[in-house]
Amino acid sequence: MRLHDLKPRPGAKHRRKRLGQGESSGHGKTSGRGGKGQTARSGSSIRIGFEGGQMPLIRRIPKRGFNNARHTTRYLPVNLEALNRFEDGARVDAATLRDAGLANGPGVGGGIKILGTGDLTRKLTVNAHAFSASARSKIEAKGGKCEVIAKKHQAPKAERSKPEAAKPKPAKS
C-alpha cells in the first residue's frame, strides 16, 4: 500500500450541497428557501418570538404570579484572596475596593459581599454589606474585624423589632 492508494472509507465524505444549479438538481430555482418573502431574502434573520409586527404572544398573554427575582439583593462578590493587596492593619471599605478595581460592575446598588475563597495573610478591618461565614471566620482568625454596612432602607438586625401579633378587631354591634 502506498500513499496514493489511501482513500477515506465509503460514506465518510459528502459532496457539498450546490444550490441554484437548475431545477432537476432538487436545489434549483429557490435554492431551498421556499417561496418569496422575508426569509427568502439574503441576510434575513428573524429574532425568536417575532410575529411580523403583530403583537407577540408573550406580550399578549397576562402576566400572573410572583417573581422573586425582582426583589433579590445582588451583591458584587470580592474574594478574600484579593484583599491581600492592602497593607497590614488597613481599613478596607466599599470606596477602597472600587478604587482598587475589585468591586466594579452593575450590581453596586445591592452592595459588596466578601467571599471566603483563598487565604488572607493580613490583619484588616473590612467594611462591607455582607460576609460569607468562611470569610468572617478567616478575617477574625487573623485578628481583623468585619463591619457590616447597614442598607439605607433598613435598620441593623439588632435594632429591628419583631412584627406585633395581629390584634383582633372589635365586633360591630
61 domain residue, yes or no = no
173: amino acid identity, one letter? S
User: Rounded distance, CA 63 to CA 51, Å?
Assistant: 19
108 domain residue, yes or no = yes
101 domain residue, yes or no = yes
Residue 113: the pLDDT is: 94
List the chain residues with pLDDT less than 70.
107-109, 152-169, 173
30 domain residue, yes or no = no
115 domain residue, yes or no = yes
57 domain residue, yes or no = no
What CATH number did the domain enclosing 116 receive?
A: 3.100.10.10
Residue 24: the pLDDT is: 93
| Domain total in the chain | 1
103 domain residue, yes or no = yes
76 domain residue, yes or no = yes
Q: Residue 50 contacts by C-beta under 8 Å, 6 or more apart in sequence?
A: 56
Q: Residue 108 contacts by C-beta under 8 Å, 6 or more apart in sequence?
A: 76, 98
Segments forming the whole domain that contains residue 77: 72-148
Residue 110: the pLDDT is: 75
Reported pTM: 0.53
State the burial class of residue 95 (Cβ atoms within 10 Å of its Cβ: 0-12, 13-18, 19+).
exposed
Residue 83: the pLDDT is: 94
